[in-house]
Amino acid sequence: MSFPAILILEDGSVYEGLGFGIQELSVGEIVFNTSMSGYQEIITDPSYAKQIIAFTHPHIGNTGVNDEDSESENIFASGIVIKDLPNNYSNWRATQSLESFLESKNTIGIAGVNTRALTAKLRDHGSLKACIAPGNKNSIDKAKEALSEFNGLQGLDLAKEVTTENSFFWEEGTWPNYHEVKNDKLIVAIDFGVKKNILRLLRKHLGRVEVVNAQINFAELMEHKPDGVFLSNGPGDPEPCTYAIELIQKLLEINIPIFGICLGHQLLALSGGCKTYKMKFGHHGGNHPVQDVKSKTVFITSQNHGFAVESSSLPDNIIPTHISLFDQSLQGIEFQDKPAFSFQGHPEASPGPHELESLFIKFNSMIEINAKKN
């Protein structure tokens, strides 16, 4: 059931609209996402913890929600903003509406917002702190109070809030051959907010996948006897995750193969002596061109990050492998003296292009080459 709601930004802008989901106030950093499909995957990506997602595409909710496409079991995002709330949904796989899905996951949304104007504001001013609140303009004071108590994402460690409590083995491969497995390596995936499709691709290309808590220590991790370690995506600022940085530095010392994505990429970079920074409005969408530095090949990629690695901070033993053609920001690194590499974007897609699935194959090859050396 819909209800009156407002969206208020830290610059004082107020947008009135139609609320849906739960009738509870929520705050977060508002960012815009330019993907034209895959809203269910986007909403359930743990990397959006403490963020409000404003969709630029106008047709959000038209195909409902199904039982297969969620990238996690929960919604960690603070809320969503859409142009229109559809009266009906239609898709042969759909089991419920977007409205009922948000309600079941204790999440608020707001529709009827001029998302073109909102996106233009965010592009000009950068990501802003925001609040979605049920009610009309009489709720402004309460929303402002909640907004004043939110300090933003910088300096915020959210990985430990979204990680799994207990380790588990992931058994599912990719659609439609869920049980197709090409290798029998053991990969320990450190869960900083991992998406399901990353685990599917690790399973498909490398073999057994064990998912562990973000705060696992070195001794505990090595008890699993992994062939390689994967550093997952996740939300928040990488710099406060000192427990992860210290662990990765120990893993680098023993030359175990490492592959990082998104937050995992940033943590690997920090472990190697690089620096990170908060971006103006980040990269959020499924149409971002990224260039391979060596081959000059351009890939269209899925992106979701608000922090990045400073390209000027790379030490001599780390080289850039990919750059964004939108803003020349660093998209990938590789160690020259260690079997370790990472990518800022999302080669697993879900949603988005699959053009860089080859990075999972590269990880498998790196493990095999490293095994021969040892």
* 105-123: average pLDDT: 98
* Residue ranges of domains in the chain: 3-148, 159-373
The residue type of 233 is N
pLDDT for 176: 74
pLDDT bucket at 175, cuts 50 / 70 / 90: confident
- pLDDT at position 368: 95
Is the pLDDT assigned to residue 173 strictly greater than 80? Answer: yes
Q: Which of 41, 262, 284, 305 is catalytic?
A: 262
**Looking at the predicted structure, is the pLDDT value of residue 104 above 80?**
yes
Q: Label residue 141 exposed, middle or buried (CB < 10 Å: 0-12, 13-18, 19+).
A: exposed
- Tens digit of pLDDT for each residue in 235-246? 999 999 999 999
Marked catalytic residue, from 41, 99, 239, 348: 348
* 82 and 115 Cβ atoms separated by less than 8 Å: yes
What would the pLDDT profile of 273-325 be if each residue is shown by its tens digit? Answer: 999 999 999 999 999 999 999 999 999 999 999 999 999 999 999 999 999 99
227, 249 in Cβ contact below 8 A? no
Please report the pLDDT score of residue 178 as a whole number.
Answer: 67
Q: Is 262 a catalytic residue?
A: yes
288 is catalytic: no
Which residue type sits at 9? L
Mean pLDDT of 259-280: 98
Q: Reply yes or no on domain 3-148 having CATH 3.30.230.10.
A: no
Looking at the predicted structure, is the pLDDT value of residue 342 above 90?
Answer: yes
- Would you give the end-to-end CA distance of the chain in angstroms? 61
Is 346 in the active site?
yes
User: Across the chain, what does the average pLDDT equal?
Assistant: 96
Catalytic residue among 265, 283, 305, 346: 346
CATH 3.90.1640.10 fits 159-373, yes or no: no
Q: Is the pLDDT of residue 347 over 80?
A: yes
H/E element holding 301? strand 298-309
